Chains A and B, each alone.
Chain A
């Protein structure tokens, strides 16, 4: 079955330190992977996606993600965290059922707390 897992409900990091938000996936064939961020009382905002090519994907607000096929992971990273990065982060993979061109499978979300 296709799935996405975000193993940590919450990640705490000090401002200025590097951050990692973990995501693993299970899908047949090559995955199409996405990261979104949700600030309080807002909709989800697209950060970045992996379709093919370079395993390191750069996105908005200084975030990047590393695709690792052997470990079936797509971890979100940032070299230096900001307090304003505190938010809820979702990893998603495109459902590869026959005929699907849109449906995403979302992880449960990880709350990132950056402390000053």
Chain B
């Protein structure tokens, strides 16, 4: 079955380190998204992509970057991890139509010490 996976599921890192979270989908969806979920803030969009080599900033993009070299993957990089980036990160994908449904991965819990 087609699916969307994230790795690692849990990560502990230190302040200042670079961290990359992986997201892989097998639906051949054009659109992919990264969100963070924090208590009291719901889901906030970090970056998104509408296709290969396309990337766009969301509402909380500072300190994060993404690249889209193929359809299946959208890795999220924290350039220099900060304690404020401790959160649960969700990747999502969607076919390209405006009425299409977004499907979410299982999440990555990141702790920055």
Binding site for B on A (CB under 8 A): 32, 34, 36, 41-46, 49, 51, 90, 94, 100-104, 106-109
Contact = CB atoms under 8 A, between A and B. Distances in A.
Interface stretch (B11-19, B61-69, B70-78, B92-100): B92-100
Given A43-B106, A109-B42, A102 B101 contact: no
Contact of B103 (A46, A51, A107): A46
Contacts of B96: 101-102
Interface string B30-46: 01010000001111010
Contacts of A44: 43, 90, 92, 104
Nearest to A108: B42
Chain A binding surface, main DSSP class = loop
B98 A32 contact: yes
A36 to B, nearest CB: 8
A87 to B, nearest CB: 14
B102 A101 contact: no
A105 B5 CA distance: 23
6 contacts: A43-B105, A45-B104, A100-B98, A102-B48, A102-B96, A102-B102
B90 A43 contact: yes
